[in-house]
A and B are shown apart, each in its own frame.
Chain A
């Protein structure tokens, strides 16, 4: 009996569950711990054509099997998802799909992460009795960077419906009908939407692939780490796939409060080049006019002996973590340097109409809000360095700076990951790990503090900036050195408005909003 007016009780695979009226059988089954196999249904795409026929379940008393992705739960229903009838139906769907499906597994990117493979194994339908010639459709460039392998397509229309329902752009259609059906761009239209990469993620098989990922890595060769996209201030939750210490692919990770199941193409591209370029791999100090490598201990001692109170300026990046910014601020305070600025590149904003909270935001940096929280201010250009001043640079702030920038500084401390031209004017270089090489947090546009995790090994002896900055503060008798991210976060959250009571563990993988106290800094961004 239902004790709440709009709740329904039913039995699924022998388990009694109680769900809200209007819940579909597929969702009700989740309450019973049952995942009903499906293709065309996607939890993030509202339209439910119920056309793949994979999710058919048996309902006692009903003559026909029903598609659980749309069939509403009814009071007292007794549902069997794995009865012989349901399993036979499911097996036949796999058999039908395998009729024309090419045996591409050895060369298909989806192998190991393919829903057709998964269900073929699960149902045991591994053979086809098809004796005719298979349809051949070949490969088509459906977007500048996305390829479509028509032979592999199961016409689930997830890609078409993602574009229509979520992207609000009817660039893709099903062309032809019946056994000749395939996916194509609408005649005269190009698929160039800023969020088109998501069609590759929703494709259950290897029909849609990113051109820059094709043949790069096998599913089982990749490691992954949960991260936060550094492309803009939205902070989409992502999964960074790594092979042999290179980022090979970035996929979105579900966060219903930030990005749902999606991310934009700009973000996908932003990490692939993450650890390329000329890297600072070892600490360097200027001895007799030349930059010489030194060990960490030597370098930190050397720097702490020479950094003194003098007028100075600081440049930070809006792409470094809160922990790094916190220790940078602490360092500047101990040196008596006030202020500190950062620049943020701006770009065109693109909204994902089907999930309006998700935009490729104009602010092309992940932690401008965090920088604001730590009292750094925006600037429109690089400030002039007064002769003999102390210049502290933290992060990738000199990427476009002229080669002579900072040459006239009294003491130029460069804390960054890349050896850009201007870095060669430094008095000391402390090599920092990039974002995918370290753990940390960012604050996004709405004040959500989110964790990102290490996916790559830093080159040489580069270390997370928060780690050696805290050690440097120790050398200066102005702080305690930390080695664990939990400790860095605690030290930071203690002193940062809006983060009272937050812990690294408590943030989890969904993040937490700053309290009222932190919001003004966010609003100002």
Chain B
């Protein structure tokens, strides 16, 4: 949706250059556009060299956590005693995020190339691309691309005559947000319920099928080919010292021009919302923005002047997450919005940890009651109590994820809660 729009901000189309061009999907078309140029170079490099380049580039995981990718790869055993696995996390389920789907449906071969190079770096010879079940049409596109890549000699045995083998399997999920958590993903991949497991053991020691594994996000892997081709310094010309490169921003909510935009890291959040996306339509003012997908703290309209990078958003009291601002205008009922968010987490909790299983559902119920005008002051205390009890006590951070927006909404929009409370 965002592609036809132009704006005055610096547009860098590293990942999104061919979004909208159906030619980019086919192998022939992709090669015409210069695709698969990095793979031959990577095939000449040692795994450690590839990891070094990516480490130096400062590329950070684009799935929301922002962990340095090269560092993550370096956790894998240097001397394999058996198979290693690369799992590509295409389970994009964060409310507000819709960037990975664009990569899957417009430039699947870019993703495949990134997966192959990453696999080589971690000494894996099998890539599993875990696609969320709801992405059924995109997974079909991806599957066709994988078939083409096999036929073209880019995947499979003796890739491009290098002597190196690598297989790619596209695996479809069945609809669970928690399958986007790395151990939940691997658990589901192995045929079980998507239930995160306790760490240690870490995936790099024991992951998919009990073997050393690395899980990387789609957008992260899509950036790998160009980094390997052009080098670490080249990638660092965009972005900030601590958050190099570009980011696909997914802007949604009350906006003139919602959509997916590629922007350099460190772009001002105000500029993204007002310059790029045109602010709220119909002259309405903006009330609040959840900047990084629903698992991040809310910012008021006055708090938007911050740097759109990992360190900048953290300094602003929130987090960059997946760079997926959900913009809410002045007519928005914050309590209703928060209730809807809590409902999402309650629905998606895998149910293992007591705090999350019961806490998220309880939160949603209280918010619903407040929204209906049946709330009490004690309920607000209970909500604060819940935030405290759900934080830092669980196997995975899903429970923490509902606390970030909830706590910030209670702190910054307390008046809206109190207006609905009857006594």
**B: interface residue count bin:** 20 to 34
Taking a contact as CB atoms under 8 Å apart, the answer to whether A96 and B358 are in contact is yes
Known: A51-B395, A56-B393, A64-B392. A178 touches B360 (CB 8 A): yes
Which residues of the partner chain B approach A96 to less than 8 Å between Cβ atoms?
A: 354-355, 357-359, 362, 389
Q: CA–CA, A97 to B389, complex, Å? A: 13
Taking a contact as CB atoms under 8 Å apart, the answer to whether A178 and B395 are in contact is no
Known: A49-B198, A129-B382, A130-B362. A181 touches B357 (CB 8 A): yes
Question: A78-133: which residues lie under 8 A (CB-CB) from chain B?
Answer: 89, 92-93, 95-97, 99-100, 129-132
Taking a contact as CB atoms under 8 Å apart, the answer to whether B366 and A132 are in contact is yes
In the complex, how many angstroms separate the beta carbon of B190 from the nearest chain A beta carbon? Answer: 14
Taking a contact as CB atoms under 8 Å apart, the answer to whether B378 and A129 are in contact is yes
Taking a contact as CB atoms under 8 Å apart, the answer to whether A177 and B349 are in contact is yes
| Main secondary structure on B side of the interface with A | helix
Question: B261-316: which residues lie under 8 A (CB-CB) from chain A?
Answer: none
Q: Quick check: is B193 within 8 A (CB to CB) of the other chain?
A: yes
Taking a contact as CB atoms under 8 Å apart, the answer to whether B351 and A50 are in contact is no
Q: Quick check: is A440 within 8 A (CB to CB) of the other chain?
A: no
Which residues of the partner chain A approach B361 to less than 8 Å between Cβ atoms?
A: 178-179
Binary CB contact string for chain B from 367 to 400 against chain A (1 if under 8 A, 0 otherwise): 0010000000011001000000100111100000
Known: A132-B365, A178-B347. A53 touches B358 (CB 8 A): no
Which residues of the partner chain A approach B358 to less than 8 Å between Cβ atoms?
A: 96-97, 99-100, 179
Q: Quick check: is A70 within 8 A (CB to CB) of the other chain?
A: yes
Taking a contact as CB atoms under 8 Å apart, the answer to whether B355 and A178 are in contact is no
Which of A53, A56, A95, A155 contacts B351 (CB under 8 A)? A155
Taking a contact as CB atoms under 8 Å apart, the answer to whether A97 and B354 are in contact is yes
Which residues of the partner chain B approach A179 to less than 8 Å between Cβ atoms?
A: 346, 349, 351, 357-358, 360-361
Taking a contact as CB atoms under 8 Å apart, the answer to whether B348 and A178 are in contact is yes
Taking a contact as CB atoms under 8 Å apart, the answer to whether B392 and A65 are in contact is yes
Taking a contact as CB atoms under 8 Å apart, the answer to whether B394 and A53 are in contact is yes
Taking a contact as CB atoms under 8 Å apart, the answer to whether B357 and A155 are in contact is yes
Q: Quick check: is A350 within 8 A (CB to CB) of the other chain?
A: no
In the complex, how many angstroms separate the beta carbon of A91 from the nearest chain B beta carbon? Answer: 9
Taking a contact as CB atoms under 8 Å apart, the answer to whether A99 and B393 are in contact is no
Taking a contact as CB atoms under 8 Å apart, the answer to whether A49 and B352 are in contact is yes
In the complex, how many angstroms separate the beta carbon of B176 from the nearest chain A beta carbon? Answer: 7
Taking a contact as CB atoms under 8 Å apart, the answer to whether A93 and B355 are in contact is yes
Q: Quick check: is A294 within 8 A (CB to CB) of the other chain?
A: no
Question: A49-72: which residues lie under 8 A (CB-CB) from chain B?
Answer: 49-54, 56, 63-65, 67, 70
In the complex, how many angstroms separate the beta carbon of A399 from the nearest chain B beta carbon? Answer: 49
Q: Quick check: is A407 within 8 A (CB to CB) of the other chain?
A: no
Known: A67-B198, A177-B193. A51 touches B360 (CB 8 A): no
User: Which residue in chain B gives the minimum CB-CB distance to A130?
Assistant: B362
Taking a contact as CB atoms under 8 Å apart, the answer to whether A50 and B362 are in contact is no
Taking a contact as CB atoms under 8 Å apart, the answer to whether A52 and B350 are in contact is no
Scoring B195, B358, B379, B393 by chain A CB atoms within 10 A of each residue's CB, the highest score goes to B358
In the complex, how many angstroms separate the beta carbon of A16 from the nearest chain B beta carbon? Answer: 25
In the complex, how many angstroms separate the beta carbon of B205 from the nearest chain A beta carbon? Answer: 13
Which residues of the partner chain A approach B198 to less than 8 Å between Cβ atoms?
A: 48-50, 67, 70
Taking a contact as CB atoms under 8 Å apart, the answer to whether B366 and A154 are in contact is no
Which residues of the partner chain B approach A54 to less than 8 Å between Cβ atoms?
A: 354
Q: CA–CA, A142 to B345, complex, Å? A: 30
Taking a contact as CB atoms under 8 Å apart, the answer to whether B353 and A53 are in contact is yes
Q: CA–CA, A180 to B369, complex, Å? A: 20
Which residues of the partner chain A approach B382 to less than 8 Å between Cβ atoms?
A: 129
Q: CA–CA, A75 to B361, complex, Å? A: 40
Q: CA–CA, A155 to B361, complex, Å? A: 15
Q: Quick check: is A513 within 8 A (CB to CB) of the other chain?
A: no
Which residues of the partner chain B approach A174 to less than 8 Å between Cβ atoms?
A: 193, 351
Which residues of the partner chain B approach A92 to less than 8 Å between Cβ atoms?
A: 355, 389, 393
Interface size for A (C-beta < 8 A) is 34
Q: Quick check: is B413 within 8 A (CB to CB) of the other chain?
A: no
Scoring A63, A177, A181 by chain B CB atoms within 10 A of each residue's CB, the highest score goes to A177
Q: Quick check: is B75 within 8 A (CB to CB) of the other chain?
A: no
User: Which residue in chain A gives the minimum CB-CB distance to B366?
Assistant: A132
Taking a contact as CB atoms under 8 Å apart, the answer to whether A177 and B176 are in contact is yes
Which residues of the partner chain A approach B394 to less than 8 Å between Cβ atoms?
A: 53
Q: Quick check: is B197 within 8 A (CB to CB) of the other chain?
A: yes
Which residues of the partner chain A approach B357 to less than 8 Å between Cβ atoms?
A: 96, 155, 178-179, 181
Q: CA–CA, A93 to B353, complex, Å? A: 9
Q: CA–CA, A335 to B349, complex, Å? A: 76
Q: CA–CA, A48 to B176, complex, Å? A: 23
Q: CA–CA, A129 to B377, complex, Å? A: 13
In the complex, how many angstroms separate the beta carbon of B372 from the nearest chain A beta carbon? Answer: 12
Taking a contact as CB atoms under 8 Å apart, the answer to whether A178 and B362 are in contact is no
Which residues of the partner chain A approach B359 to less than 8 Å between Cβ atoms?
A: 96
Q: CA–CA, A294 to B394, complex, Å? A: 72
Taking a contact as CB atoms under 8 Å apart, the answer to whether B365 and A52 are in contact is no
Which residues of the partner chain B approach A95 to less than 8 Å between Cβ atoms?
A: 389
Taking a contact as CB atoms under 8 Å apart, the answer to whether A51 and B352 are in contact is yes
Q: CA–CA, A96 to B358, complex, Å? A: 6
Taking a contact as CB atoms under 8 Å apart, the answer to whether B346 and A178 are in contact is yes
Q: CA–CA, A155 to B198, complex, Å? A: 17
In the complex, how many angstroms separate the beta carbon of A67 from the nearest chain B beta carbon? Answer: 7
Q: CA–CA, A48 to B359, complex, Å? A: 22
Taking a contact as CB atoms under 8 Å apart, the answer to whether A132 and B369 are in contact is yes
Q: CA–CA, A92 to B176, complex, Å? A: 27
Which residues of the partner chain B approach A89 to less than 8 Å between Cβ atoms?
A: 389, 393
Binary CB contact string for chain A from 416 to 455 against chain B (1 if under 8 A, 0 otherwise): 0000000000000000000000000000000000000000
Q: CA–CA, A358 to B351, complex, Å? A: 33
User: Which residue in chain B gives the minimum CB-CB distance to A101?
Assistant: B358
Scoring A95, A96, A130 by chain B CB atoms within 10 A of each residue's CB, the highest score goes to A96
Scoring B178, B359, B360, B369 by chain A CB atoms within 10 A of each residue's CB, the highest score goes to B359
Binary CB contact string for chain B from 167 to 189 against chain A (1 if under 8 A, 0 otherwise): 00000000010100000000000
Q: CA–CA, A181 to B360, complex, Å? A: 14
Which residues of the partner chain A approach B348 to less than 8 Å between Cβ atoms?
A: 177-178
In the complex, how many angstroms separate the beta carbon of B134 from the nearest chain A beta carbon? Answer: 16
Known: A53-B394, A89-B393, A174-B193. A132 touches B351 (CB 8 A): no
Contacts from B to A (Cβ < 8 Å): 176, 178, 193, 195, 197-198, 346-355, 357-362, 365-366, 369, 378-379, 382, 389, 392-395
A-B pairs with beta carbons under 8 Å apart, 24 shown: A48-B198, A49-B352, A50-B198, A51-B395, A52-B353, A53-B393, A65-B393, A67-B198, A70-B198, A89-B393, A95-B389, A96-B357, A96-B358, A96-B362, A100-B358, A129-B378, A129-B382, A130-B362, A132-B362, A132-B366, A155-B352, A177-B348, A177-B350, A178-B350
**The 8 A-B residue pairs with the shortest CB-CB distance in the complex, in nearest-first order:** A51-B352, A178-B349, A179-B361, A181-B351, A96-B358, A92-B389, A50-B198, A132-B365
Q: Give me 19 other A-B pairs in contact (C-beta within 8 A), A96-B357, A178-B361 excluded.
A: A56-B393, A64-B393, A65-B392, A93-B354, A95-B389, A96-B359, A97-B358, A129-B382, A132-B369, A174-B351, A177-B176, A177-B193, A177-B351, A178-B350, A178-B351, A178-B360, A179-B346, A179-B351, A179-B360
